[in-house]
Every structure is written in C-alpha cells, then in structure tokens.
C-alpha cells in the first residue's frame, strides 16, 4: 500500500506493532482488559452480527475477528502491522480476508461494501480522525454502523504531568514492553466533544456512548484488578450510524 508506514530509515519507529506483535497478542488473549472488558463490550454493542459484512479496522492478531466470525459475521480484517496480520492469518485461515492497510490512507473497498465497521482501540493512534472517518462512512452501507472504542479521556488526560489542555488535540508516548521487546507508542488525546464532533462531521449519527462494566466472570479470576476496573473508566465506546437513505 502507498502511505505513511514507518520506513526502515526512520530514527524512531513509533507505533511499531510488528516489534511486539507476538507478545501483545499473547498478553491480550485472556487478560482482564481485553478478553473480559473490551472485546465483550464491543460484541455486546454489535449484537447479532450473523450475515453482516463487518470490516474490523485495526484487527491486530484477530481475536475479535474470530469472535465476530464465530457469531456468523462475514469479516474482513485490516491492520497496518504485517506482524499482526501474520498472526491473524494463522488464527483465522481462509475465514477472514486480511489486508495490510494504514487507516490514514484511503480504504481499498467499494462504497457501501460493509454493514458494520468495528474500530476497537485504534482511533486513538490517529492525530486526525477526519479522513479516516470519512472513509469508514464511505464503505458503510446506508444504515450501517461504526462501533469504536478509544482510551477514555479521563485516563488519557490524567496520564501525564503536567496535564495538557483538555480541549487541545495532544499526543503522548508510552513504551510498551512485551516479552522483553519494547515499542514506543504514540496516542492522541481528544476531548469528548472533539470525538463526537468528528463523528458528526463525517456524516454519522450518534447512537450510543457507553462506559461498560467488565464481564462479571472476571471477578474471581482477577479480584484486585476487577475491583479497580469496575470502579474507574478505562475505555469509551461509541456506536454511530450512517443515516438510512
Ligand atoms: C490495541 S490493537 C487493537 C486490537 C483489536 N482491535 C482489539 O480490540 O482486540 C491496535 C491495532 O491497531 C493497529 N494500528 C495502529 N495504528 C494503525 C493505523 N494507522 N492503521 C491501521 N492499523 C493501525 C495496530 O497495528 C494494532 O494491531
């Protein structure tokens, strides 16, 4: 794909998911935050997806894609990381079409090709949501849905000191280490209003803003972390819709 993927000559490879693909995938397979909170919350918002054409944007190693497929969706996965896509391919075989796509570039799909776009924990890597949301809207059919989750602003804005201007579009970096391999990730913070305004500017209608609870099944598995996660926000979830014709 043409675009802005980090080149080998870059002095710092920010958001290098290739470097941590194996470790990230293993760590998030059965953990509290992904397996018992983010994925079930997204699936609950999606509801019955049987027969729906779902674009999973930022599919990583495909855990959520697999759950959507198991519920009868016809899933296409896209991600910027070749390493993540290789893991997704190993998990999903021929069940899910996988493409290497940077979400800052035009999407290689026809207008109206999907009933749902699921962008789970990926939009907060983007400085400007506008072009990406416009593309997501384009590939959705009238009445289609974008289901998205991002870092909750309360967490994002209290993560660094001094605290930034809440209303400014600011970024911070954070080193993620999995299995001894470190990658510097850059996350973009947006106010709640900036997020909802970006959705509506792209032509979406707000349907749901959700601050879900973790799956109760995790209470016994992760007693301390469950208590923390169930009493403070972590991610923010949206369902926005393309108006029907
Ligand atoms: C935190 S993981 C999300 C995993 C999955 N959506 C889930 O919720 O289980 C973020 C994924 O987004 C991908 N990503 C980050 N920036 C991207 C971009 N600009 N274009 C496409 N994918 C991107 C990363 O490679 C990574 O696989």
pLDDT reading at 88 higher than 50: yes
Share of residues in the chain with pLDDT > 70 (%): 95
Ligand 1 pocket residue status of 98, Cβ below 6 Å = no
Residue 13 is predicted with a pLDDT of 75
pLDDT (tens digit per residue) in 153-178: 999 999 889 999 999 999 999 999 99
Question: Ligand 1 atom 26: the closest Cα is on which residue?
Answer: 60
Ligand 1 pocket residue status of 100, Cβ below 6 Å = no
pLDDT reading at 47 higher than 60: yes
Question: Ligand 1 atom 3: the closest Cα is on which residue?
Answer: 121
Residue 11 is predicted with a pLDDT of 46
Ligand 1 pocket residue status of 17, Cβ below 6 Å = yes
pLDDT reading at 214 higher than 50: yes
Question: Contact 65/77 with Cβ under 8 angstroms?
Answer: yes
pLDDT (tens digit per residue) in 183-201: 999 999 999 999 999 999 9
pLDDT (tens digit per residue) in 53-73: 999 999 999 999 999 999 999
Share of residues in the chain with pLDDT > 90 (%): 93
Read off the pLDDT of each residue in 121-150 and give the average, rounded to a whole number: 98
Ligand 1 pocket residue status of 104, Cβ below 6 Å = yes
**In ligand 1, which atom is closest to the CA atom of 101?**
21
Read off the pLDDT of each residue in 192-217 and give the average, rounded to a whole number: 98
Residue 12 is predicted with a pLDDT of 54
Residue 2 is predicted with a pLDDT of 40
Question: Ligand 1 atom 10: the closest Cα is on which residue?
Answer: 122
Largest Cα separation within the chain, whole Å, is 51
- How far, in Å, is the centroid of ligand 1 from the Cα of 122? 5
- How far, in Å, is the centroid of ligand 1 from the Cα of 245? 31
- How far, in Å, is the centroid of ligand 1 from the Cα of 168? 23
Residue 5 is predicted with a pLDDT of 47
Domains and CATH numbers, the chain: 25-153+191-241 (3.40.50.150)
Burial degree of 31 (CB within 10 A; 0-12, 13-18, 19+): middle
**In ligand 1, which atom is closest to the CA atom of 56?**
6
pLDDT (tens digit per residue) in 95-131: 999 999 999 999 999 999 999 999 999 999 999 999 9
């Amino acid at each position: 794909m043409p675009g802005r993927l980090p080149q080998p000559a870059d002095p710092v490879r920010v958001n290098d998911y290739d470097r941590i693909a194996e470790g990230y995938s293993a760590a998030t397979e059965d953990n509290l935050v992904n397996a018992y909170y983010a994925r079930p919350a997204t699936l609950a918002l999606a509801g019955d997806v049987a027969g729906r054409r779902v674009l999973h944007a930022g599919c990583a190693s495909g855990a959520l894609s697999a759950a959507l497929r198991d519920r009868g969706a016809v899933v296409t996965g896209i991600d910027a990381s070749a390493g993540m896509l290789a893991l997704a391919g190993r998990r999903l075989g021929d069940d899910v079409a996988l493409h290497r796509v940077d979400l800052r570039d035009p999407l290689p799909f026809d207008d109206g090709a999907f009933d749902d776009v699921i962008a789970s924990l990926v939009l907060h890597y983007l400085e400007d949501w506008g072009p990406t949301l416009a593309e997501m809207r384009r590939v959705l059919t009238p009445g289609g849905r974008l289901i998205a989750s991002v870092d909750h602003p309360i967490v994002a804005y209290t993560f660094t000191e001094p605290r930034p201007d809440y209303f400014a579009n600011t970024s911070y970096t954070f080193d993620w280490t999995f299995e001894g391999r470190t990658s510097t990730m850059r996350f973009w913070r947006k106010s709640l209003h900036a997020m909802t305004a970006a959705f509506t500017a792209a032509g979406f209608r707000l349907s749901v803003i959700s601050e879900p609870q973790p799956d109760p099944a995790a209470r016994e598995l992760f007693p301390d972390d469950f208590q923390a996660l169930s009493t403070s926000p972590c991610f923010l979830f949206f369902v926005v819709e393309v108006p029907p014709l």
